[in-house]
Chains A and B, each alone.
Chain A
């Protein structure tokens, strides 16, 4: 990144962080995607990064939140919310008051409903554009950010978005740095009171540990025994593919070129 791109003042960035859950032990930890979001914010030059969390402060969550402080922060703002509350109003009011240029969040939480809706609802409420699945922020110049979005199959897309904006990151973003113990102990958790709204819907749902999804059976709809046997035992037969025999290499290459063009894999 070019350092001269930020000469008109620093960029105010807020990272929304949550308390994660280790997939094996079930202990609280830095949420993986949120830690990547913090790492992305840390990689921006001359950005003033603030951390924001909405939730309850107890023993388990404090250790996890201090994990974010250990990535090089003095303080973290914590909006006090009970378990099972809808954090949208509290976070939206806090963001409206602080007025950051860029809000970075992980795609989904590792606890609770984990629907990944919060960034979208925030964007709708604040009227800001939203870009999902970010791999990198390439440049921020005069209120326009150039972003690199991660697509499936390892592809990347370049986007430009006018700030203020909300962006979310997923596993394609750079891996987070290790949390340092000393800064994590020294950092302050600034607890603020905030409006509380109960999530009535969530309370009505029945939650249970995820059970393994049934494996899809291969259903063979065949009329005769021979067809069923073939489906079970035989290897794939020719699906009516086109075979070019006795052609010049140029002709064959032209046919392949046409197919590749049609499929749009040539750039």
Chain B
């Protein structure tokens, strides 16, 4: 087709004249049906102020200036934003930065993401010779965003020998990795979830003196590795300024997590098969603890009740069967159904549960603040329009007593099956 623009002055005139009977047809034909702005024939931007906005519920024209209206579809916006982050690929890295995330509950924790952010700082410091961030993950995981967290290479080790509490087998794998690839930096989280233990074992085995409790890092040409770090010592009362060693155990919030780029997260495999070694520590599995004895602020799984709960015996029974710690909203506490120390929210306890089940809670802003850091929120509620449903990852609209009853029956049935199978 030719590039010459053919103008139809009559149609342009109709398009300008809103009162013309053919106005809408011509607009659609010219491709300006919904557009409020187009390139004119002379290369100027033409605007049609009448095409902006929409009719509000009371018959008045409303203009939404957020840009949502002009975007093609509102729904896919968040997903396309994730896709549109630039992909950074490092084909032949100058060096490796090895990170061993905790992966509590099979996902990257906030601490892990901070650590990966720190690893990116180290890897990207010299644009001429960029390093690659290598993450080592033990056991099965549920994480699907290694790319967004800043992982270039991913070593995923599975098998019965590295599952559960297996520090010796994991240490063996890390030592084999160290021999195979010689990472320039080792970063581990200094956390109770296992990183602190594994990192110290690795330090003792490699004979490296690690920096523990690191919370700040800055470039320094005089140091051997080119970096200085600030580390907490003496039960958190002293800061040590020191040259950064090869192995670093870092605290949470040591760096900003990666947010603006995507990375390859290319799977890697160890070049050699791990030697099977006799473990001197045998894991007999987790012990059932009384969920009522666990502090609400650190409980992993909370079943929380609100104003919508009528059958309190059924609720307590469900909490017992599920093995969940009980929580409550302010209303349930004020009405005397639950103890004050069970209250969740800004005026009660700020909880950090991985799974939070809200039964009959509409979700006052104070309550939602209290559950900010929960990973998965499940809501059971009668009202489909309440704020808790908006926050929840899974919401069931219905009578809470009946849903809980059915849930208890399911759990008991599955336990029965497991017992029969065993």
A residues bordering B, Cβ < 8 Å?
21, 23, 108-117, 120-121, 123-124, 129-133, 146, 148-149, 151-162, 165, 201, 204-211, 213, 216, 219, 221, 224, 226-227, 235-247, 249-250, 252-257, 259-260, 262-267
Contact = CB atoms under 8 A, between A and B. Distances in A.
A120 B407 contact: no
A111 B237 CA distance: 9
Given A116-B212, A242-B394, A259 B239 contact: no
Nearest to A160: B282
A265 B239 contact: no
A210 B237 contact: yes
B368 A235 contact: yes
Nearest to B254: A213
29 contacts: A109-B234, A114-B235, A116-B196, A116-B212, A120-B201, A120-B204, A123-B204, A132-B196, A151-B192, A152-B192, A152-B298, A153-B300, A155-B287, A159-B282, A205-B240, A207-B239, A207-B240, A210-B237, A226-B66, A236-B391, A241-B395, A243-B384, A243-B389, A243-B395, A245-B397, A252-B403, A253-B409, A253-B410, A257-B407
Interface string B26-53: 0000000000000000000000000000
Interface in B116-137: none
Given A116-B212, A205-B240, A249-B399, 7 more contacts: A109-B235, A154-B293, A155-B287, A207-B238, A221-B260, A238-B391, A250-B406
Contacts of A157: 165, 283-287
Given A158-B287, A249-B399, A266-B411, A21 B390 contact: no
B87 interface: no
Contacts of A130: 201
Contacts of A201: 209, 242
A205 B368 contact: no
B241 interface: yes
B241 A265 contact: no
Given A155-B289, A221-B259, A124 B204 contact: yes
B319 to A, nearest CB: 12
Contacts of A124: 204-205
Contacts of A253: 396, 403-404, 406-407, 409-410
Interface in B251-307: 253, 256, 259-260, 280-289, 293-295, 298-301
Q: Pick the 9 closest A-B CB pairs, nearest first.
A: A252-B396, A253-B406, A154-B294, A249-B402, A124-B204, A253-B407, A238-B390, A265-B301, A158-B284
B25 interface: no
A152 B405 CA distance: 30
A198 to B, nearest CB: 14
Contact of B235 (A21, A204, A236, A267): A21
Q: Which of B210, B384, B391, B395 has the most CB of A within 10 A?
A: B395
Contacts of B215: 213
